[in-house]
Amino acid sequence: MVISWILNSLSKVIVESVLYLKTAQEIWKELATRFGQCNGPQLYQLQKELSDAVQGNSDIASYFTKVKKIWDELYALITFDQCSCKCICNGKVTTIKAHQDGRLIQFLMGLNNIHSSVKSTILMMDPLPTVGSAYSLLIQNEKQREVHMEAHPSQAAFMVTNQKYNNSGLKFNNNYQQKYGGNDGKFKGNFEKQNSGMYCTNCKMTNHNTNKCYRLIGFPPDFKFTRNRKTRYPAHSNASAVVTTD
**Side chain identity, residue 216:** L
pLDDT at residue 186 tops 70: no
Asked whether the beta carbons of 241 and 218 are under 8 A apart, the reply is yes
> What per-residue confidence (pLDDT) applies to 53?
93
Q: Tell me the pLDDT band of 43, cut-offs 50, 70 and 90.
A: confident
More confident residue, 78 or 155: 78
| 233, 242 contact by CB (below 8 A) | yes
Q: Residue 246 — very low, low, confident or very high, per pLDDT cuts 50/70/90?
A: very low
Task: Report residue 193: phi and psi, to 5°.
Answer: -60, -45
pLDDT in tens, 189-245: 444 444 556 778 888 777 778 788 878 887 787 776 655 444 444 444 444 444 444
Least confident of 47-51, 53-57, 113-117, 192-196: 192-196
Specify whether the CB–CB gap between 121 and 141 falls below 8 A: no
Backbone phi, psi, residue 206, to 5°: -105, 180
Q: What angle do CA 24, 25, 30 make, to 5 degrees?
A: 100
Measured in Å, how far apart are the chain's first and last C-alpha atoms? Answer: 104
Task: Spell out the residues 6+ positions from residue 177 whose beta carbon is closer than 8 angstroms to its own.
Answer: 183, 187
> Per-residue pLDDT averaged across 113-137, rounded?
93
Query: pTM surpassing 0.85?
Result: no
Instruction: Kindly report the three-state secondary structure assignment for every residue of 126-180.
Output: CCCCCHHHHHHHHHHHHHHHHHHHHHCHHHHHHHHHHHHHHHHHHHHHHHHHHHH
| CA-to-CA separations, 67 to 16, 39, 79, in angstroms, rounded | 35, 20, 20
**Winning range, highest mean pLDDT, from 20-29, 117-126, 168-177, 184-193:** 117-126
- 126-158 exposure pattern, b = at least 16 Cβ within 10 A, e = fewer: eebbebeebbebbeebbeeeeeeeeeeeeeeee
Chain centroid to Cα 217, Å, comes to 49
Average confidence score pLDDT of the chain? 75
User: Which pairing describes strands 242-243 and 231-232: parallel, antiparallel, or unpaired?
Assistant: antiparallel
The predicted-structure confidence for 127-164, as pLDDT tens digits, reads as follows 999 999 999 999 999 898 888 777 766 555 545 555 55
User: How far, rounded to the nearest angstrom, does the alpha carbon of residue 181 sit from its chain's CA centroid?
Assistant: 20
For residues 38 and 79, is the Cβ–Cβ distance under 8 A? Answer: yes
Residue 20: pLDDT over 50: yes
**Helix (H) or strand (E) segment spanning residue 246:** none
Which residues are registered as beta bridge partners of 206? 199
The answer to whether 177 and 194 have CB atoms below 8 angstroms apart is: no
21 pLDDT exceeds 60? yes
Tens digits of per-residue pLDDT, 82-100? 667 777 777 778 888 999 9
